[in-house]
Chain A
Amino acid sequence: GDSVTQMEGPVTLSEEAFLTINCTYTATGYPSLFWYVQYPGEGLQLLLKATKADDKGSNKGFEATYRKETTSFHLEKGSVQVSDSAVYFCALSANQAGTALIFGKGTTLSVSS
């Protein structure tokens, strides 16, 4: 079945460091791909998405490119801030109307000043 694999955390960085969180997926067809972020005590929020191959999703300085050839959707940010500390989830939605999202296990990011 469809699945998402994320790099294990936690990821610990200093402020202004470069961030990469790896995400690969397994799916039939052409899924839509998402990154969600979860701040402490809150639910998940959509960070960015891409719906077809070579699309780049971006938001708040974060970017991810839908790579069909490597079945990947890695999250990157050039310069992280303390406020970026959160748990990041990669997710996919099968290319069928009415289906649910499948999430990776999440990667905890901790940024120190």
Chain B
Amino acid sequence: DAGVIQSPRHEVTEMGQEVTLRCKPISGHNSLFWYRQTMMRGLELLIYFNNNVPIDDSGMPEDRFSAKMPNASFSTLKIQPSEPRDSAVYFCASRSGTADNSPLHFGNGTRLTVT
């Protein structure tokens, strides 16, 4: 079991540039979640998918953020254009099944710095 794989681990970009974060969930998991972690706001849910379908994107900060899950083994989170306040650690997590007591498995995160 390779775990949830995120890339890149670190991303430094300039304001206005497009940023794409990638996630490969654990094979067989059918729910995928994107979270953002900052010192000020802690861990915030951005969006989550069940069976590749977006279920709740109410946490996406604004239209600059978009997420896709074209198949069961891959998801992207895109920010276009990026701004300094987007600097944070972005985590992807996956879960087997949809039962509310199933644990989430997190990737190691992507640390994004927008200058």
Contact = CB atoms under 8 A, between A and B. Distances in A.
- Mutual binders A and B: yes
Interface of A: 31-32, 34, 36, 41-46, 49, 51, 89, 93-106
Contact of A34 (B91, B99, B103, B107): B103
A95 B100 contact: yes
A80 B56 CA distance: 38
Given A97-B99, A99-B100, A43 B106 contact: yes
B104 to A, nearest CB: 6
B43 to A, nearest CB: 4
Contacts of A94: 100
B31 interface: yes
B77 interface: no
Nearest to A44: B106
Instruction: Name the interface size band of chain B.
Output: 20 to 34
Given A43-B107, A43-B109, A44-B104, A97 B42 contact: no
Contacts, number: 57
A106 B107 contact: no
B90 to A, nearest CB: 11
**3 closest A-B pairs by CB:** A43-B106, A105-B42, A98-B98
Interface core residue of A45, A49, A100, A101 (most chain B CB under 10 Å) = A100
A42 B106 CA distance: 9
A68 to B, nearest CB: 16
Contacts of A41: 108
A109 to B, nearest CB: 16
Contacts of A34: 103
Contact of B100 (A36, A89, A96, A104): A96
Nearest to B100: A93
